[in-house]
């Protein structure tokens, strides 16, 4: 039996995935392993090349999935990434899509030192809800939830909801 659920935590860069993941790890009733997939890809060299113009890596998806597969099977995992369609549907117990007002997002990405081009690209993606659509077309609707991540209050209530969801997941595992 899986040690815990697999939570795919996604959203446009800057919406608050890392912030949520860190807090959720601290507050979860069971140990969760948090994988920041972008960092994981860099550390393990799971990319084919680096695109200077867009300042992004072209991911070697086959190798990435091979490396993550045993961890997903084990469970108790948060997968933090700005895209989610790559992961097999069977891995995910919950897909959380974080959302943020685009002008707020712009400020966050500017502070992060992103190029104007990258800020514009991400800002537009957030307005067009690209990640949400991707999640909805890749996973069953009942496991996809959209959460606002604009304020500290949002953050706190999101974490409280996720902690409750994990407790329920554990209860359901025990009774099945
Ligand atoms: N709900 C929130 N309320 C206030 N600030 C937030 C919230 N979520 C994220 N932030 C801030 O926005 C910035 C980007 O958050 P981060 O977690 O790094 O995003 P991501 O991992 O999605 O790229 C950080 O400075 C973080 O403190």
Write out pLDDT tens, residues 106-116: 999 999 999 99
Return the residue whose CA atom lies nearest to atom 3 of ligand 1. Answer: 151
* Number of other residues whose CB lies within 10 A of the CB of residue 12: 28
Per-residue pLDDT tens for 119-167? Answer: 999 999 999 999 999 999 999 999 999 999 999 999 999 999 999 999 9
For the cut 80, the answer to whether the pLDDT of residue 31 exceeds it is: yes
What is the complex's ipTM, to 2 decimals? Answer: 0.99
Query: Are the CB atoms for 116 and 44 separated by under 8 Å?
Result: no
Return the residue whose CA atom lies nearest to atom 14 of ligand 1. Answer: 14
Atom index in ligand 1 nearest the CA of residue 15 equals 22
Question: Is the model's pTM score more than 0.90?
Answer: yes
3-class secondary structure for 41-67?
HHHHCCEEEEECCCCEEEECHHHHHHH
Tell me, what's the pLDDT at 52?
A: 81
* Number of other residues whose CB lies within 10 A of the CB of residue 24: 21
Residue 11, ligand 1, Cβ within 6 A: yes
């Amino acid at each position: 039996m899986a040690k815990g659920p697999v939570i795919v935590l996604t959203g446009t860069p800057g919406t608050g995935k890392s912030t949520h993941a860190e807090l959720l790890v601290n507050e979860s009733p069971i140990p969760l392993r948090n994988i920041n997939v972008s960092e994981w890809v860099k550390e393990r060299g799971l990319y084919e090349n680096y695109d200077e113009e867009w300042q992004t890596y072209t991911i070697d998806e086959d190798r990435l999935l091979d490396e993550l597969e045993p961890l997903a099977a084990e469970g108790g995992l948060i997968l933090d990434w700005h895209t989610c369609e790559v992961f097999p549907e069977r891995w995910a117990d919950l897909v959380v899509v974080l959302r943020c007002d685009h002008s707020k997002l712009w400020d966050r990405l500017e502070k992060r030192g992103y190029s104007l081009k990258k800020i514009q690209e991400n800002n537009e993606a957030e307005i067009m809800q690209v990640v949400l659509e991707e999640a909805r077309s890749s996973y069953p609707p009942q496991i996809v939830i959209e959460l606002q991540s604009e304020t500290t209050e949002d953050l706190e209530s999101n974490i409280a909801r996720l902690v409750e969801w994990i407790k329920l997941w554990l209860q359901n595992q025990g009774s099945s």
